[in-house]
Amino acid sequence: MADLIAIGYPDETTADAAADEARRLASDLIIQPDSIAVIVRDQDGSYHVHTTHHAVGGGAVWGMFWGFLFGLLFFIPVLGMAVGAGMGAMMGKVAKTSIDKQFQDQVRGLVQPGTSALFLVLEKVTPDKAVEAMSKYGGTVLKTSLSKEDERELQDALHGGQAAAQ
């Protein structure tokens, strides 16, 4: 089971610094992220997204995942994704996963103008070391879990139903 973690920060720069720390933790094998993303909402309300992907995560697929997730959460197309005929079906798949409405509402409340948030999809973590390293950045932590079934359904949707064959 993977965890989707969002950590909100009261400014536009801390999430990027925390993402750098998360990448360091990954290289030290303290966390095992599938993907890391930062969303910054500047003072005028515009969103800016930065993503990185773990080597085994499949960069294009994770880019699509973040695009769909942020589209669902913030009602914005991100990462240059065009809204096509299949977009509604895939958004429905994302919406039906265990990313529950309460988590979605909390994340929307977290990312207000002038703030930023770090998003991590984690498979494994060494909690004490990760908490110690990340605590210097502060922030508000939100977490939801994705069951193996939800992960598979998301991957199937993102791969056009071909994830099971890979």
Judge whether residue 158 has pLDDT over 90: no
Amino acid 33: pLDDT: 82
Higher pLDDT, 95 or 20: 20
- Predicted structure pTM score: 0.75
Determine what percent of the chain is predicted with pLDDT higher than 70: 62
d(CA 74, CA 23): 25
- Predicted pLDDT of residue 120: 86
Q: Residue 109 has which token pair? A: 């409340």
Of residues 125 and 88, more confidently modeled: 125
128 versus 158: which is more confidently predicted? 128
Q: How many Cβ atoms are within 10 Å of 83's Cβ, its own excluded?
A: 10
User: Would you state the structure tokens that stand for residue 27, as one six-digit string?
Assistant: 């290289």
Query: H or E stretch including 157?
Result: helix 148-158
CA atoms of 79 and 47, how far apart (whole Å): 11
pLDDT classification of 40: cutoffs 50, 70, 90: very high
Tokens of 67: 């695009």
- pLDDT, greater one: 149 or 105: 105
What is the model's pLDDT at position 150?
A: 67
